[in-house]
Amino acid sequence: MSFDTLGLAPALLRALADQGYATPTPIQSAAIPVALSGRDMLAGAQTGTGKTAAFALPLLQRLFVENATAPANGKRKVRALILTPTRELAAQVHDSLRAYAKHVKMFSATIFGGVSMGPQVDALRRGVDVLVATPGRLIDHMERRTVDLSGIEILVLDEADRMLDMGFLPAIKRILAVLPKQRQTLLFSATFADEIKKIAAQFMRDPAEVQVAARNSVVATITHRVHPVEAARKRELLLHLLAQDSRRQTLVFSRTKHGANKLADFLEKYGLKTAAIHGNKSQGARTKALKEFKDGKVTVLVATDIAARGLDIDQLPIVVNFDLPMVAEDYVHRIGRTGRAGAEGLAISLVAQEEARLLRDIRRMLKQDITIENVAGFEPARPLNLENPGPAPGRPAKPRNSNHSRRPHANGPKKPHAVANKQKRQWRGGKPASFKA
Ligand code: AMP
């Protein structure tokens, strides 16, 4: 299938060709025609499936191709609002939106915390058509009356499940309360918890449902591998693995900010160009670390879950879990950083016996076997026991909801996008879409 069959306007097809996209991803094939029809839509799609284009393209077409309007009294009104859980995702969605809007006339801005209000207020005053925002900062603007949402025609809730996990439900409800009732609402979520269904029932009109992959399934092109190791020898093992190809860009996840710092210092000491990115780092430091990683100046990026959410790094071949995440679903989000857009990916986890319970939970959730493979010289004294795993380390296994430390503290990265890679990119991953209208 090609993009031409989806009913997209030539200006958008040209932008896709500029990006080097040859084939629509399953979520794009399923969602674009529905969204173009103007219907509300609940779309189930995990990170890395091409979901941004799945809502951005129809949004651009409906507002700026089919209903391009001149701004009244010379002042633009915000016509579309895209809400995302994190600053990184907001910045990334914005970058993608602008790339897809390359050949249409559209003014857009991002609104997120951690940076000063001034430039955002200025942009809003000058007038924008599309806003990409995180809920908290948007509420700040609503309270100061620096944003007018009365002209919204399309609302997109991106990664809605994440927004709920991060405690944004009250904020979302406040925002929804001021939006015009006559609008199209597109909700994207990796999972459809009851809360999401409730929002849909309350704030959407007879939404079509589009689903492309089973709940919590992960991209098929990713290989999962576990290396059992004593906790005290993890650093050494990581160094050993990284040393096998020191030029290969690797994203390493650490459970704690302190752990991320210590690990980055250790790797740096052994000559690997390393940076750490987590919530205690300043906005500037985070943006710089990410840029250097994307530019290839830094080969190892050590990140905590929050800092890494929403990062899109083209063709990242390896993700290493130095610690397993406390919540099994975070594993999916972590490894969603590799194997994107059909590329092959490898997810390596260094697992000590103390984490056996977490590994068992992850295996259950993935419904997929993970290869457990000793690395010669690093075998633990006793083999990993998943049958009798013992308690999970530290905290209880379900520290979800109302956990404010999960809120991000970062500015968004610049997405390198496909610009560097002009050759045609063929979508290979993912399952065929099913579609229920
Ligand atoms: P997303 O899920 O929107 O974050 O997209 C994940 C990655 O897939 C991004 O790097 C996109 O640029 C890329 N992408 C999106 N659609 C396509 C496509 N049809 N063909 C190739 N790559 C794509």
CA separation (Å) from 36 to 87, 239, 258?
27, 50, 47
Q: Is there a single domain that holds both residue 353 and residue 272?
A: yes
Classify 408 as helix, strand or coil: coil
pLDDT score of 187 more than 90? yes
Q: Is there a single domain that holds both residue 310 and residue 236?
A: yes
Residue with CA nearest ligand 1 atom 18: 21
pLDDT score of 1 more than 90? no
Q: Is there a single domain that holds both residue 202 and residue 261?
A: no
Q: Is there a single domain that holds both residue 148 and residue 274?
A: no
- DSSP E strands, 221-323: 222-228, 250-253, 274-277, 300-303, 318-321
Whole-number pLDDT of residue 211: 82
- Looking at residues 155-164, what average pLDDT do you find? 92
How many of the other CB atoms lie within 10 Å of CB of 434? 13
Whole-number pLDDT of residue 243: 85
Eight-state DSSP code of residue 108:
E
CB 338 near ligand 1, within 6 Å: no
- Kindly indicate the confidence band of residue 392, based on its pLDDT and cuts at 50, 70 and 90: low
Tell if the pTM clears 0.85, that is, is over it.
no
Are the CB atoms for 39 and 208 separated by under 8 Å?
yes
Q: Is there a single domain that holds both residue 54 and residue 190?
A: yes
Q: Which of 317, 352, 372 is the last residue of a domain?
A: 372
CB 48 near ligand 1, within 6 Å: yes
- Looking at residues 299-324, what average pLDDT do you find? 78
Q: Is there a single domain that holds both residue 200 and residue 248?
A: no
Q: Could you tell me the two tokens for 314?
A: 């083209």
Minimum-distance ligand 1 atom for the alpha carbon of 47: 2
Confirm whether 426 is domain-assigned: no
Q: How many domains does the chain have?
A: 2
CB 49 near ligand 1, within 6 Å: yes
Q: Is there a single domain that holds both residue 81 and residue 107?
A: yes
Confirm whether 388 is domain-assigned: no
Whole-number pLDDT of residue 2: 85
Residue with CA nearest ligand 1 atom 15: 50
CB 172 near ligand 1, within 6 Å: no
Whole-number pLDDT of residue 219: 60
pLDDT score of 251 more than 80? yes
Q: Is there a single domain that holds both residue 330 and residue 362?
A: yes
CB 55 near ligand 1, within 6 Å: no
Minimum-distance ligand 1 atom for the alpha carbon of 3: 19
Minimum-distance ligand 1 atom for the alpha carbon of 21: 20
Confirm whether 193 is domain-assigned: yes
Q: Say how many Å lie between the CA of residue 425 and the centre of ligand 1.
A: 9
For residue 202, the number of C-alpha atoms closer than 13 Å in the C-beta half-sphere is 11
Eight-state DSSP code of residue 80:
E
pLDDT score of 339 more than 80? no
Q: Is there a single domain that holds both residue 229 and residue 207?
A: no
Q: Does 148 or 393 have the greater pLDDT score?
A: 148
Confirm whether 131 is domain-assigned: yes
Whole-number pLDDT of residue 371: 84
pLDDT score of 297 more than 70? yes
Q: Is there a single domain that holds both residue 241 and residue 366?
A: yes
pLDDT in tens, 38-76: 999 999 887 777 899 999 999 999 999 998 887 777 789
Minimum-distance ligand 1 atom for the alpha carbon of 53: 3
Question: How far is the C-alpha of 360 from the C-alpha of 81, rounded, in Å?
Answer: 40
Q: Say how many Å lie between the CA of residue 334 and the centre of ligand 1.
A: 17
Q: Is there a single domain that holds both residue 253 and residue 165?
A: no
Q: Does 408 or 50 have the greater pLDDT score?
A: 50
Classify 401 as helix, strand or coil: coil
- Domain hosting residue 28, numbered range: 3-211
CATH number at residue 270: 3.40.50.300
- Looking at residues 406-410, what average pLDDT do you find? 37
Q: Is there a single domain that holds both residue 142 and residue 244?
A: no
